[in-house]
Amino acid sequence: MRRLPSVLCTVVLMTALGGFGATPAVADHASPDRIDLPDGWQPEGITTDGKFLYTGSLVNGAIWKASAKTGRGELLARGKEGRVAVGLDYDRRRDLIWAAGGDTSVVRAYNADNGKVVARYTFPSATPRFLNDLVVTARAVYVTDSSNPELGVIPLKGKHRHHHDGWGGRCGLPPASSARTVALRGDVAYQDDINLNGIASDHGRLIVVQTNTGLMFDLNPWSGNTSVIDLGGDLVTNGDGLELDHRTAYVVRNLDNMVAVVHLSRHGRSGEVVAELTDEGLDVPATAALARGSLWAVNARFTTPPTPTTEYWITRIDING
């Protein structure tokens, strides 16, 4: 994910109460090809619980919820000045939506039922951070920092969805002080511009993509060691969001308006780009989520100057054709 540097200075602030108009009605039929978001939304991240799609706003951290069946949507979490929602991931164990906060150095957990913020974690640093994308596992929330060679970690425990603990958050959520970082080492080398971005998990392993180099890495979350995934000479340059389905990785290549389909080897040490998916409805897609047998890509439109009336939408991509 996600934000290009030129966009950082052009975010159009809206009101803390959301500041977005209603989305146009979508015909009530299965799998719409396009789901419209409120004008001026400035999306970047997208996630799903299998039935609904959730996308955040770079403007004020608001969260939009839309049906993947009908396309109808509503505001789930109102925005607030100073908040940012970049990468998102749905936490099925706790029924939460986690959001990376970009240059605010904050990760928030939203109640997926009512949109309330139930936890907030800050990752302080002597140098500016850009918390870009994240993934939730049984053990932790892992967050990529596109500016610093570190992995953000929020340890987790507990699997109950609706039991609340004495701290005031969902069961198993640790205190804010538990957020920590792991220094990255091994094959990854940070350069100028956007570095590690999209992140996904597979049986305890982490897979990440580096936007500026087009490389993918296997990342050990405990040691911080990174090993490049051999793609046979291919690169996934401008790789942004990363969606994993067993041994198939979908890498969203934002400025290329496509999604690279990478078939990973059994142990994930190598892979092959087997297809490049595109659609006329794509306009600098940032991230994507799998739901109802399709890939749903949210269009960040980074090359279009953002205004309160700029249109934004989600594009459905057929992955079976």
Tell me: the pLDDT tens digits for 244-270? Answer: 999 999 999 999 999 999 999 988 899
Cα(175)–Cα(168) distance, integer angstroms: 10
Instruction: Give this prediction's pTM.
Output: 0.89
293 DSSP 8-state letter: T
The dihedral formed by the CA atoms of 137, 141, 147 and 149, expressed in degrees to the nearest 10:
-70
At the top level of CATH, the class of 5-33+40-310 is mainly beta
**3-class DSSP state for residue 237?**
coil
Cα(44)–Cα(54) distance, integer angstroms: 11
The pair of structure tokens assigned to 85 is 């929602």
The pair of structure tokens assigned to 108 is 């928030």
Q: Quickly tell me which residue has 């659609």 as its tokens.
A: 279
One-letter amino acid at 119 equals A
Strands 216-219 and 205-210: antiparallel
**3-class DSSP state for residue 188?**
coil
Kindly state the average pLDDT of the residues 136-152. Answer: 97
Tell me, what's the pLDDT at 27?
34
Residue 24 pLDDT greater than 80, yes or no: no
Tell me, what's the pLDDT at 202?
83
- Whether the CA torsion 214, 221, 299, 272 is positive or negative: it is positive
In the chain, the percentage of residues whose pLDDT exceeds 90 is 81
CB neighbour class for 280 (10 Å; exposed up to 12, middle 13-18, buried from 19):
exposed
Q: How many residues does the chain have?
A: 321
The pair of structure tokens assigned to 256 is 């290329």
One-letter amino acid at 130 equals F
Cα(147)–Cα(287) distance, integer angstroms: 19
Is 87 or 18 the better-scoring residue by pLDDT?
87
Tell me: the pLDDT tens digits for 97-140? Answer: 999 999 999 999 999 999 999 999 999 988 999 999 999 999 99
Cα(281)–Cα(296) distance, integer angstroms: 11
Mean pLDDT of the chain: 89
Cα(242)–Cα(265) distance, integer angstroms: 17
Is 317 or 1 the better-scoring residue by pLDDT?
317
CB neighbour class for 252 (10 Å; exposed up to 12, middle 13-18, buried from 19):
buried
